[in-house]
Structure 1
Amino acid sequence: MPSFTDAIRTVGSGLHISCEVQAGARENVFPSGYNSWRETIGISITAPPVDGRANAAIILLIAEVMGVQRSSISIISGVHSNRKVIRIEGMSLSDCIEILHPFFS
Structure 2
Amino acid sequence: MNETDWLTLSGTTARLTLHIQPGAKKTAVAGPHGDALKIRLAAPPVDGKANAALLAFLADCLKLPNRAVTLRSGDTSRRKVVEVQVGGLSAEAIRAALAAG
Q: Which residue of 2 aligns with 1:33?
A: 31
Superposed displacement of residue 101, structure 1: 3.0
Is residue 17 of structure 2 the alignment partner of residue 21 of structure 1?
no
User: Shift of the alpha carbon at 1:11?
Assistant: 4.0
For 1:98, give the aligned amino acid: A
CA RMSD of aligned residues (A): 2.2
Q: TM-score, normalised by structure 1?
A: 0.81
**Cα offset, 1:99, TM superposition:** 4.0
SS of the residue corresponding to residue 60 of structure 2 reads helix
Where 1:97 maps in the other structure, the secondary structure is: helix
2:4 matched to which residue of 1?
A: 5
Pair 1:90–1:101, CA change in 2 (3 A): closer
Any gaps of 5 or more consecutive residues in structure 2? none
Paired with 1:92 and 1:80, the residues of 2 have a C-alpha distance of 31
Contact 1:15–1:92 (8 Å) recurs in 2: no
The letter of the residue matching 1:49 is: P
> What is the percent sequence identity of the aligned residues?
29
Write out aligned runs for 1:20-99 (5 A): 20-29=19-28, 31-35=29-33, 37=34, 39-92=35-88, 94=90, 96-99=91-94
Residue type at the aligned position of 1:46: A
Partners of 1:99 and 1:73 in 2: CA distance: 13
More helix by share: 1
TM-score, normalised to structure 2, is 0.84
Instruction: Check the 8 A contact 1:8/1:17 in 2, yes or no.
Output: yes
- Give the 3 Å change call, closer, same or farther, for CA 64–44 of structure 1 in structure 2: same
The answer for unaligned runs of 5 or more in structure 1 is none
Contact kept? 1:15, 1:91, Cα under 8 Å: no
Give the Å deviation of 1:24.
Answer: 0.2
Structure with more strand by fraction: 2
